[in-house]
A and B are shown apart, each in its own frame.
Chain A
Amino acid sequence: MDFVDLQKLFPGISTLTEASTTICIGRLALIGIGILLIYLGKKGVLEPLLMIPMGLGMIAVNAGVLVLDPTSAQIMAEGRVGASAHGTLLMAPLVQQTDGLMYTLQIDFLQPLYTFAFSNGLIACLVFMGIGVLLDVGFVLARPWLSMFLALCAELGTIAGFPLAVALGLDYREAASIAMVGGADGPMVLFTSLSLARHLFVPITVVAYLYLGLTYGGYPYLIRLLIPAKLRGLKMPPKPAARITSDEKLAFVVVACVVLCLLFPAAAPLFLSLFVGVAVREVGLGHFAAFLEGPVLYGATLFLGLVLGVLCEASTILEPKILLLLVIGILALLLSGVGGIIGGYIAYVCSGRKINPVIGIAGVSCVPSTAKVAQKEVSRVTPDALILPEALGANISGVITSAILSGIYVALIPLLP
């Protein structure tokens, strides 16, 4: 058997040797990162629900490259500069022409999911419906000012990330899209980048979800760095929490949905999805609630992770701006964490040293990861200290403030000269 036959027999390996050095190294590095994500997900350092499918998708898309026949290669790689005849049978995110799309829909098994559920934001909305069912808005209604204040402080990175990105050379639309990573809210980033910077949608979304995993593993260190153990273990005096009835919660959902959709029509799909979930919970539609919080939420998260992993193809991800996006993304997320903790300190001082400053980090709207991280860090110092109700209030408010900022960016940025 000569070498040519072997190349045909193992196209995954032969495409690796035929590709440019950059693509070859990129593919190998991304396979390595995929394995790392699975390892860190298994260890619980990163969010396993997202990282396991994402890591496997990343491995498959960079290992399973084959030589496509010239016609299909041209169709599947259309729009990609310097496209070769190499490709995968998983997904072709850059296809735009109808003919190419019809072709890939019939060939690539994840293409229907990407075209009909990912790129239009449906999968993000499904995640939001599931999250809505899990949310108890009573935590926010019990302490609306504190919750919204903390959430606003935790948007520091989302706001400061914009001029930072502009200073580093991105245009306004790209800068706003990457700044949204500071909100640590995947669906919002997806939605904003789709609305403002469609050409950077893939790398920005990948960067955002990679970093969302990092909040789970990185924020505990930030908390330990910025808040001394004595304050972290502060027990909050049990406040006789006002009992919020489901009627009150439903009234809030209806009014908030009307007001927020009126103010930010661009973010209406996300508001609708979130509030549908909350309304289903509060009205007591048990079957709907079970469906949304089970199959819909977990199904959407699984396929979201899988699509995100497959999006990490070397030729797509080696976008020249990716390094810049990685730097701005991590800075935005770091600033948001710091902003949340500053908010926590302000609340601690203003409340006469009664509020545990750790709850500030829960203002970063990665529901419910940041609230869980806050409670975990407090429990490490004082096992019987409970801050979860207040942390969840700030966490839910974080979703609202992220949606507000997404709406502002989508409405305001196109008006800039």
Chain B
Amino acid sequence: MKTALTATLVIAVLATVLSLSVAGLMHLLFIAVRRVQGRSRSGR
């Protein structure tokens, strides 16, 4: 049972880190694509 609880903790932390990383990735990607599009529109 102790192993199961430790594993649950690890799983919860991993899931949180990865899910929030995906959210961060989406956010960064959104900013990056917007910048690239802004540059191409301004002809730079």
Contacts and interface: CB of A to CB of B under 8 A. Distances in A.
Contact of A404 (B8, B15, B29, B30): B15
Interface stretch (A54-62, A144-152, A305-313, A327-335): A144-152
Contacts of B34: 248
A149 B23 contact: yes
Interface of B: 1, 3-5, 7-8, 10-12, 14-16, 18-20, 22-27, 29-30, 33-34, 37
A144 B11 contact: no
A175 B4 contact: yes
10 contacts: A152-B20, A162-B4, A244-B30, A245-B33, A255-B29, A259-B22, A259-B25, A400-B22, A408-B14, A412-B10
Interface of A: 140-141, 144-145, 147-149, 151-152, 155, 159-160, 162-163, 166-167, 172, 175, 242, 244-245, 247-248, 251-252, 255-256, 259-260, 263, 397, 400-401, 404-405, 408-409, 412-413, 416-417
Given A148-B22, A412-B10, 9 more contacts: A147-B23, A149-B20, A159-B15, A162-B8, A244-B30, A245-B33, A251-B29, A252-B29, A416-B3
B12 A417 contact: no
A95 to B, nearest CB: 34
A238 to B, nearest CB: 20
A294 to B, nearest CB: 29
Nearest to A405: B15
Contacts of B15: 152, 155, 159, 401, 404-405, 408
B33 A404 contact: no
Residue among B5, B18, B24 facing the most chain A CB atoms (10 A cut-off): B18
Contacts of B22: 144, 148, 256, 259-260, 400, 404
* Nearest 7 Cβ contacts at the A-B interface: A148-B23, A144-B26, A166-B4, A144-B23, A248-B33, A152-B19, A163-B4
Contact of A160 (B8, B19, B24, B26): B8
B33 A159 contact: no
